[in-house]
Amino acid sequence: MPNPNPEDKRQAAREVIDILHEISTLLNTSLDRTELSLCVSLIENGVPPEGLANVIKDLRKEAPPSAPKRTSSQAYAD
């Protein structure tokens, strides 16, 4: 089987993140595409998913209340 074109690999990765983001949105995780990409990378590199989920929950509990998170499209609108 021939190696996929690097652009095809990037497109496939984007599609996976898009699907994960849709699922994330339905589950109200408040994770953006960048955060999801980082989570996927960590899991691909051996971090246990349950452990990662626990760390994210703990960090959210410890984080001080702040203004609502801006989306990347809002950041570029300024």
Given pLDDT bands bounded at 50, 70 and 90, which one contains residue 78?
very low
19-36 tens-digit pLDDT: 999 999 999 999 999 999
21-76 tens-digit pLDDT: 999 999 999 999 999 999 999 999 999 999 999 999 999 999 887 756 655 555 54
How confident is the model at residue 3, as a pLDDT? Answer: 74
> How many whole angstroms separate alpha carbon 4 and alpha carbon 75?
34
Chain centroid offset of residue 47 CA: 15
* pLDDT at 4 > cutoff 80: no
Residues 6+ away with beta carbon under 8 Å from 33? 17, 18, 21, 72
